[in-house]
């Protein structure tokens, strides 16, 4: 006895087809991801979708119920009534096929049934049926005529726009009946469609206005938070919208006030510390200048310069130039000033920027960031390139490149940490305190942008500041 081969079952997510081929179906998780990507991501789009989908589903259900339960039923009753009148006219003529009887039938049909009846002697029914685009009308009328009329019947619902052409075969010719279209089909369905369309438009209009008002309140709150994050001082906006949105706006305003008070207190403290530290440094520098020459004088001057530089860096990092107002400045002029600092440091500099390139920036903050980046480039390389260009999105990109040793890719994020010197990767300037890149990133982010590091064409480090338009 032979052994039957094992039955191979199609794995899950497959569908067998004819010919032995197997069609693989996409997994459910992939379908979910594809659907999620197609859905709107904004609150406005999702809120509108929440309103639109139920309305569309309701429209489809109501329309289906209307045409299935009402329109088809009414059309069937009308077709049955018309078929009964046609059967009466045909049978009456068959009982007495005389011109006098035909005249009486036509007169009664015209007065009582709004039907036009005449006889085409010697004609036969057309062989090809004439059907309209809406098949349910023709099917309903055909079923009614076949059930009521015992003779061959042909009809057309498209020959005349407002009438139905019905023909019955008799031995001496064709009995033709012209009936108004409303006798065979319910012609008032367009009123329901128009009413449904108008109601939908009104509902969608109200929903759009309501959702837009609610979303606008959230957008204004987001704009205020973004402006505050960039350090811009804007007018206090009035909370509006839903109760939860107003509560969030009031909480944000309270938080903003607390942060501003903290910044003001810190600024005042830093100003006091700066005055208290600079006074003894100035006194020491004056005493050193008045003292007679001695062996350690140059070393002491270097120590004082280093201390003053460190104090400037600490204060700049803590202050962040947050209170500075934005101005429209020439980017080329900023790069030219940074280039002069590079030349004074003993490095070759190349400046490339369009003459008419301007941007709304905080000049002192950007100058400090460019000075830090250019100073680092001049300290670790012999050739420095400063460039700027307008981005297609409307933003601005400023790059600082050098031909120095650079920074390894895995240490780029570490370089932005405050007080990180990266002695193992770069020959750090002895006056540096590890705050140059941290201050530059803080300035870029306060403008709503960021700074990234990469490999330069010159062989060293490439620092790119990207600012929004």
**Alpha-carbon dihedral angle through residues 156, 157, 161, 162, given to the nearest 10 degrees:** 100
What pLDDT, in 10s, does the model give residues 158-168? 888 888 899 99
My answer on whether 393 and 436 are in the same domain is yes
My answer on whether 119 and 242 are in the same domain is no
- Order of strands across the sheet that contains 116-121: 116-121, 173-180, 163-170, 153-156
DSSP annotation of 15: E
* Biggest CA pair distance of the chain: 150
| DSSP-derived 3-state class of residue 123 | coil
Range picked from 92-96, 197-201, 312-316 for highest mean pLDDT: 92-96
Bridge-based pairing state of the strands 348-352 and 383-390: parallel
Separation CA 53–CA 47 (nearest Å): 10
My answer on whether 178 and 204 are in the same domain is no
Domain count within the chain: 3
Domain's final residue, options 134, 156, 187: 187
Whether 9 is covered by a domain: the verdict is no
My answer on whether 109 and 89 are in the same domain is yes
What pLDDT, in 10s, does the model give residues 26-56? 566 676 676 667 777 777 777 777 877 888 7
- State the CB neighbour count (10 A cutoff) for residue 426: 21
What pLDDT, in 10s, does the model give residues 306-326? 777 777 766 665 665 555 677
My answer on whether 98 and 146 are in the same domain is yes
Whether 173 is covered by a domain: the verdict is yes
Domain's final residue, options 233, 263, 293: 263
The per-residue pLDDT for 268 is 75
More confident call, 205 vs 236? 205
Residue 271 scores a pLDDT above 80? no
Element (H, E) at 243: helix 243-290
Separation CA 164–CA 153 (nearest Å): 13
> Which CATH number is 56's domain given?
3.30.450.300
My answer on whether 162 and 240 are in the same domain is no
Whether 143 is covered by a domain: the verdict is yes
Whether 19 is covered by a domain: the verdict is no
My answer on whether 364 and 227 are in the same domain is no
Separation CA 415–CA 453 (nearest Å): 9
Whether 409 is covered by a domain: the verdict is yes
Tokens at 417, concatenated: 């940490």
My answer on whether 181 and 242 are in the same domain is no
My answer on whether 386 and 417 are in the same domain is yes
Whether 41 is covered by a domain: the verdict is no
Whether 410 is covered by a domain: the verdict is yes
My answer on whether 207 and 227 are in the same domain is yes
Q: In the Cβ-directed half-sphere of 32, how many Cα atoms lie within 13 Å? A: 3
Residue 275 scores a pLDDT above 80? no
Does residue 239 contact residue 86 with C-beta atoms inside 8 Å? no
Radius of gyration of the chain (CA): 44
How far does CA 77 lie from the centroid of its chain? 51
Bridge-based pairing state of the strands 173-180 and 348-352: unpaired
Separation CA 374–CA 390 (nearest Å): 20
Query: If we measure between CA atoms, which residue out of 214, 208, 211 comes closest to residue 246?
Result: 214
Percent of the chain with pLDDT over 90: 6
Residues β-bridged to residue 386: 351, 400
Tokens at 55, concatenated: 């309305």
What pLDDT, in 10s, does the model give residues 211-242? 888 888 888 888 888 777 766 666 667 787 77
Measured between alpha carbons, how far is residue 445 from residues 359, 366, 377 in Å? 16, 11, 21
* DSSP string covering 152-216: -EEEESSSSSSEEEEEEEETTEEEEEEEEGGGTS-TTHHHHHHHHHHHHHHHHHHHHHHHHHHHH
| Residues of the domain holding 141 | 48-187
Separation CA 399–CA 455 (nearest Å): 12
Whether 447 is covered by a domain: the verdict is yes
My answer on whether 159 and 206 are in the same domain is no
My answer on whether 245 and 347 are in the same domain is no
**Rounded mean pLDDT of the chain?**
79
> Which CATH number is 327's domain given?
3.30.565.10
User: Which of 116-130, 162-176, 307-321, 442-456 is least confident?
Assistant: 307-321
Measured between alpha carbons, how far is residue 67 from residues 16, 18, 132 in Å? 37, 37, 17
Does residue 377 contact residue 401 with C-beta atoms inside 8 Å? yes
Residue 427 scores a pLDDT above 50? no
Domain's final residue, options 127, 161, 187: 187
Element (H, E) at 270: helix 243-290
Bridge-based pairing state of the strands 461-467 and 22-24: unpaired
């Amino acid at each position: 006895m032979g052994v039957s081969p094992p039955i191979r079952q199609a794995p899950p997510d497959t569908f067998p087809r004819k010919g032995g081929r197997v069609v693989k179906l996409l997994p459910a998780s992939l379908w979910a991801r594809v659907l999620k990507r197609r859905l709107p991501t904004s609150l406005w789009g999702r809120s509108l979708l929440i309103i639109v989908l139920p309305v569309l589903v309701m429209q489809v259900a109501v329309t289906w119920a209307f045409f299935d339960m009402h329109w088809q039923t009414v059309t069937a009753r009308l077709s049955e009534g018309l078929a009964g009148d046609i059967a009466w006219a045909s049978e009456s003529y068959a009982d007495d096929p005389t011109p006098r009887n035909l005249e009486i039938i036509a007169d009664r049909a015209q007065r009582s049934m709004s039907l036009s009846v005449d006889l085409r002697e010697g004609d036969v029914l057309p062989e090809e049926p004439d059907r309209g685009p809406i098949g349910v009308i023709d099917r309903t009328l055909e079923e009614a005529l076949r059930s009521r009329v015992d003779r061959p019947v042909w009809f057309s619902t498209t020959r005349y726009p407002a009438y139905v052409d019905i023909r019955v075969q008799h031995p001496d010719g064709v009995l033709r009946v012209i009936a108004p279209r409303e006798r065979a089909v319910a012609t008032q369905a367009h009123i329901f469609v128009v009413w449904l369309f108008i109601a939908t438009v009104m509902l969608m209009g109200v929903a759009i206005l309501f959702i837009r008002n609610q979303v606008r309140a959230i957008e204004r709150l987001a704009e205020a938070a973004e402006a505050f994050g960039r350090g811009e001082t804007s007018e206090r906006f009035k909370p509006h919208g839903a109760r939860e949105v107003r509560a969030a706006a009031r909480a944000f305003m309270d938080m903003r006030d607390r942060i501003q008070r903290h910044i003001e207190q810190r600024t005042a403290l830093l100003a006091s510390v700066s005055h208290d530290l600079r006074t003894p440094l100035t006194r020491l520098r004056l005493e050193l200048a008045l003292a007679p020459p001695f062996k350690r004088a140059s070393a002491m001057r270097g120590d004082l310069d280093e201390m003053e530089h460190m104090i400037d860096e600490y204060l700049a990092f803590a202050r962040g130039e947050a209170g500075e107002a934005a101005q429209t400045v020439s980017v080329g002029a900023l790069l030219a000033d940074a280039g002069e600092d590079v030349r004074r440091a003993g490095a070759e500099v190349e400046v490339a920027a369009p003459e008419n390139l301007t941007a709304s920036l905080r000049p002192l903050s950007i100058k400090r960031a460019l000075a830090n980046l250019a100073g680092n480039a001049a300290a670790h390389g012999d050739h420095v390139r400063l460039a700027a260009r307008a981005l297609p999105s409307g933003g601005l990109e400023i790059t600082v490149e050098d031909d120095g040793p650079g920074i390894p890719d895995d240490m780029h994020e570490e370089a932005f940490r405050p007080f990180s010197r990266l002695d193992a990767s770069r020959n750090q300037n002895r006056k540096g305190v590890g705050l140059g890149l941290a201050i530059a990133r803080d300035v870029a982010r306060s403008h709503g942008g960021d700074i990234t590091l990469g490999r330069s064409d010159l062989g060293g480090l490439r620092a790119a500041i990207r600012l929004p338009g």
